[in-house]
Homo-oligomer: A and B are copies of this chain.
Amino acid sequence: MKTEQDRGEARCNQVLDAAADCFRQRGFHGASMSELAKAAGMSVGHIYHYFENKEAIIAAIVERDVAEILALLDSLHDEEDILQALIREAGNNLEEATCGSDDALQLEVLAEATRNPKVLAMVRDGDRLARNRLAETITKGRAMRGLAPLADLEARSEIIIALFEGLTCRNVRNPGVPLDAIATVLRSTLQNLLET
């Protein structure tokens, strides 16, 4: 039997999925609260019960994305060789990324962030959490291998994240490129950044 809290969470996720679809298709400004409500199969009042406005929905979408990245990174901490696992997962996620429809949403949120200080603050807060966790993961992974701590850890983490964010852009601009070839070059680039 589901508790009240479970039901509330399920409802929230229902709104977020519908909102994500609407934002992807019509952009953040093109999608109205009444369209979101229709897509979620709820009344507008019901949506306002969970989210104060569209920005609150974006905040929740950003939080959900960050939580996914943190969960992925945390799952690597149990591996015998964290760096190897990070490099392996990078290639796997590449294939997952090209099947998903999240590129459009990521770009929409980022474009909105350049115009909307509230969205910018959410995006930057989430990014801080994710990049710090990546840096911790790299440090732990290197220590396990007996590699020296990195003086340029911050810069290397930035370049690694830039690679992944850039691949989101590439999915839009050039989706036809063979994924296995990309994954191979991506892995060897990560090896250089993580293991040297």
Contact = CB atoms under 8 A, between A and B. Distances in A.
B123 A155 contact: no
B111 A152 contact: no
A128 B174 CA distance: 8
A169 B169 contact: yes
Interface in A65-123: 103-104, 107-108, 110-115, 120, 123
Given A155-B182, A162-B167, 20 more contacts: A26-B115, A27-B29, A27-B111, A27-B112, A107-B107, A107-B114, A114-B172, A123-B173, A127-B173, A152-B181, A158-B174, A162-B162, A162-B169, A163-B163, A163-B166, A165-B166, A165-B170, A166-B169, A189-B189, A189-B193
Contacts of A188: 192
A20 to B, nearest CB: 13
Sorting the interface of chain A by its residue count into under 10, 10 to 19, 20 to 34 or 35 or more gives 35 or more
Main secondary structure of the interface of A (DSSP, over half): helix
Contacts of A156: 185
A188 B159 CA distance: 11
Contacts of A123: 172-173
